[in-house]
Structure 1
Amino acid sequence: MRYISTRGEAPALGFEDVLLTGLATDGGLYVPESLPHFSLEEIRSWRGLSYSELAFKVMYPFVDDAIPEVDFRQMLEETYDVFAHKAIAPLVQLDVNEWVLELFRGPTLAFKDFALQLLGRLLDYVLEKRGEHAVIMGATSGDTGSAAIEGCRRCEHVDIFILHPHERVSEVQRRQMTTVPGDNIHNIAVKGNFDDCQRMVKASFGDQSFMGGKVRLAAVNSINWARIMAQIVYYFQASLSLGGPDRSMAFSVPTGNFGDIFAGYLAKKMGLPISQLVIATNRNDILHRFMSGNRYEQHQLEHTLSPSMDIMVSSNFERLLFDMHGRDGAAVKLLLENAAKGPVSIEDYRWRHARKLFDSESVDDKTTCETIRQVYDDNEYLLDPHTAIGVRAARTCRRDSSVPMITLGTAHPAKFPDAIAAAGLSVRPELPPHMADLFEREERYTVLENNLTAVQDFMAKHWKYA
């Protein structure tokens, strides 16, 4: 398996190098040169497999000979053994043919655990094999940071620096990151928004000279291909649980950076029958505006009750644009250069082709709260604000009521008590036992100005071998 850049100018790489590289040298994102494709008969034969066994079937073609089968199987078993539910990703029914796929049963209570618990193990395995050390640099709008720290805190061969927007994540999200002990863990609160943090990460990968040539940077954001790869699995698992592949499924995905829903798009291309993918966004709705009206234009970022989706520049959307343009890297590069200057559109036939699969909806805070309250009143089931956006978008955009509609439940409601309170509910979601003392733990983080040099200077002085 080889991987190529979405901008067409970087060399093709194998799995190990893509894992450690993050952004391609031309600024693009890596994607597989070709996708594995599974027949309906083969997918049908996977019914009854454990989650880790299914993950091996779906993911190993991407890993190929970079890791021996026995080692990869062991990594997967260890990864999902720490989840709090034996089904790993259980389904909860809300109504006839309407479901929530609970992706928050991992150690940090968010869907990011599915990929980042594995990514930490993959990085440590490859770095030990190569006799190398790496510095992980990532940006988070809330959940990626804690999942990355949890997944990498026991790694012997990495230091990890996570940037989050100062005072723009929930208190639970912040404490999950900043209370984890470890000399190799560094939290940076940037006086800006998530997009500012993400720009610093991309700039640092583009020019790593500030690390003095002593160590490589590794990515944990969803620009890292391994993140996308791991998220494909639960689409297969959900489908198999509800009668797939002998019936098609529809999925509604709360998304800001487009990685989670891009994994669903890949699952369809790999042979899983999916009839509809709903892009569910909050007021930061660049993806909705593009998918509904073929206009890609950045607006001012707004702070909402669903902070993990407070993103304006959706990095992984570039991967879809690459496919929409016939995998023409030069066309994607030109489009993104123009998008940095103002609004852009793509050829109408390309946009209409994407609309055959994708729908979208933007949900404001008021409607988010109404949905949280409605679902609780109807089912005594509590949604976090991101999942509530997914449920509302699913109900608004649903094409066929005979097709199961599965909303991805991206986070535990206990991470967002303010949103639950704003919904007018008296119930207070409790943290699970392993986090019961979260508000008593000591925090460690550094507040820095929204300045790339300040962040890079801090990193250069604080990694293990600085």
Structure 2
Amino acid sequence: MQYCSTRAGVQGRSFRDVLFSGYAADGGMFMPETIPSLSPETLLTWSRLSYQQLLCEICSLYIPEQEIPRHDLEGLISQALSSFSIPEVVRLVQLKDSLCILELFHGETLAFKDLAMSCTSQFLQYFLRKDGKRATILVGTSGDTGGSAIRSVLGLSEVDIVVVFPHRRITRVQERQMTTNIADNVHVFAADGTSDDIDVPLRKLFADPDLVLSHGLMSLNSVNWSRILVQLAHFLYAYLQLSVPLAKEDALPVLEVLVPTGGAGNITAGYIMKLMGIPLRLVAVVNSNDIVHRALQSGDFSMSDSVKQTLAPAIDIQDPYNMERVFWLLSGRDGVMIKSLMEEFQRTHKLTLPESLHQQLCEVLSSGSVSDDGILEAMRRCWQDNHYLICPHTAVGVWQHYHTPIRPGEKRCCIATASPAKFQEAVQKAGLTLDLPEAVQLLDTMETRYEVLERSDDWESRLRRHIESISSMRRLGAAAETRD
């Protein structure tokens, strides 16, 4: 298995290469050069496996044995998932009105990103220790990614992590999950802007090959292929739990999956699983930041004038960068076309999808858009009907469920991306209450540490200097240890 860029300028990279990368040198995103297929016989066999076992099977398809031997891979995944609060790691919950929810939030920071982040950090540590090297991780976050990324590498001697979050645009719990992790290898910046604003300087830093090479600079955003890889297992697990045929000769039933969508990493993983042979009907559901919805409705893949602050802040995104991966797959891997389209989008923030690409997109995805009022409505109804509390992002998908009928003969699953404990204000606005976990209550008693990026600052230069200073300090520390 080798990897290439969506913009045609980079081919033949190994899993290790793309693991330690952000964007490719040509500005594109790494993808596998081939997508393996799963036969009905394989699915029938795998239907008896646990989530952890399924994840091992999926990862082994994309990580060659010579890079991480199967025995080591199983150990790394086991270690990554060992801190989850339930033995099964993820859980399916059946509620009234055929509402089925896949809970992905049982990790340390109570968000689905803990699943991919914990595995990716184990893969990183494996290679860094094997090679005797260090890495500097640079992460921009719209809320949950930062805290999850920090927890996954907290205290690791081989890694420094620099996280940038949008100041006062995320929940207090999300912010304090980042700023209270006071460790030598954690560096947190609060930027006076949106998550899309943050992506601009980060993309420039990753496009500097000298900086990337000199400082081992890499990403843990879903720009990183490893994040998408682990997320493939969410869709396979849900499908095998809900829709697996009873015998080899049975036709594979269709499962509809409602996916709360921001940066579009999960919807990309779902589409790849569809290409692997799983009959999924994918619905990307967004909040008022509706670029993905507009792209499907009319082919208008253009940013709005501003990012709207909503009750579902982790998907307050107008640049769903993983859609580049979807467009690349739909275009027949036409990297030249994708390069042209995405460079136009980055330059003008506006793009009308070519008619053929728009038509293909509509064949594999559908979409919905939900207002804050709709989010609150779904939270209330789910509680009233089931005494089951959902977070505002999960409510985006649940609202879609309540307002669109399930097709005859199909089943449906909603992705639950985070615990409601992270979104107390939204819960209160819905007129509901919750008992906060002890770990969340303790956050308000802890010391914080972070730096502020003012709007007037040159963010790219500030971050560049900080990355350089990290490497300088590490070199001085290593020299001191050698003298001792």
TM-score normalised according to structure 1 size: 0.95
Segments of structure 1 that go 5 or more residues without pairing to the other structure are none
Partner of 2:300: 295
Partner of 2:174: 173
1:20 lines up with 2:27 in the alignment: no
Q: CA RMSD in A?
A: 1.6
* 1:218 aligned partner, one-letter code: M
Report how far residue 462 of structure 1 moved: 3.6
Query: Which aligned pairs between 1:4-403 and structure 2 lie closer than 5 A?
Result: 4-64=4-64, 65-207=66-208, 209=210, 214-244=214-244, 246-274=252-280, 276-299=281-304, 300-339=306-345, 340-341=347-348, 343-398=350-405, 400-403=407-410
Q: 2: CA distance between counterparts of 1:380 and 1:120?
A: 36
SS of 1:28 mapped into structure 2: coil
Q: 1: CA distance between counterparts of 2:17 and 2:339?
A: 22
Report how far residue 455 of structure 1 moved: 2.4
**Farther-moved stretch of structure 1 (331-340 vs 112-121):** 331-340
Given that 2:257 and 2:283 are in contact with CA atoms closer than 8 Å, whether structure 1 keeps it comes out as: yes
**Farther-moved stretch of structure 1 (378-387 vs 346-355):** 346-355
Given that 2:379 and 2:430 are in contact with CA atoms closer than 8 Å, whether structure 1 keeps it comes out as: yes
Given that 1:165 and 1:192 are in contact with CA atoms closer than 8 Å, whether structure 2 keeps it comes out as: yes
Given that 2:96 and 2:385 are in contact with CA atoms closer than 8 Å, whether structure 1 keeps it comes out as: no
Report how far residue 167 of structure 1 moved: 1.0
**Farther-moved stretch of structure 1 (225-234 vs 335-344):** 335-344
Report how far residue 239 of structure 1 moved: 1.3
Distance 1:397 1:289, change over 3 A: farther
Given that 1:120 and 1:155 are in contact with CA atoms closer than 8 Å, whether structure 2 keeps it comes out as: no
1:321-353 Cα distance to aligned partner (Å, 9 max, x none): 101211111101111222232532233333223
SS of 2:285 mapped into structure 1: strand
Report how far residue 271 of structure 1 moved: 1.7
SS of 1:45 mapped into structure 2: helix
Report how far residue 399 of structure 1 moved: 5.2
Distance 1:120 1:10, change over 3 A: same
* 1:22 aligned partner, one-letter code: G
* 1:250 aligned partner, one-letter code: E
* 2:296 aligned partner, one-letter code: M
Report how far residue 429 of structure 1 moved: 4.1
1:243-292 Cα distance to aligned partner (Å, 9 max, x none): 32542211011111000111111111112221x11111111110010011
Partner of 1:459: 467
Distance 1:449 1:266, change over 3 A: same
**Farther-moved stretch of structure 1 (123-132 vs 340-349):** 340-349
* 2:87 aligned partner, one-letter code: K
Report how far residue 394 of structure 1 moved: 3.3
Report how far residue 397 of structure 1 moved: 4.5
Report how far residue 356 of structure 1 moved: 2.3
Given that 1:85 and 1:105 are in contact with CA atoms closer than 8 Å, whether structure 2 keeps it comes out as: yes
**Farther-moved stretch of structure 1 (88-97 vs 176-185):** 88-97
Report how far residue 96 of structure 1 moved: 4.1
Match for 2:411 among 404, 415, 432?
Answer: 404
Given that 1:190 and 1:197 are in contact with CA atoms closer than 8 Å, whether structure 2 keeps it comes out as: yes
SS of 2:462 mapped into structure 1: helix
* 1:315 aligned partner, one-letter code: Y
**Farther-moved stretch of structure 1 (401-410 vs 286-295):** 401-410
Q: 1: CA distance between counterparts of 2:398 and 2:408?
A: 14
Given that 2:9 and 2:26 are in contact with CA atoms closer than 8 Å, whether structure 1 keeps it comes out as: yes
Q: 2: CA distance between counterparts of 1:157 and 1:387?
A: 35
**Farther-moved stretch of structure 1 (450-459 vs 228-237):** 450-459
Partner of 1:413: 420
Q: Percent identity among equivalent residues?
A: 35
SS of 2:161 mapped into structure 1: strand
* 1:292 aligned partner, one-letter code: Q
Partner of 1:445: 450
Given that 2:180 and 2:448 are in contact with CA atoms closer than 8 Å, whether structure 1 keeps it comes out as: yes
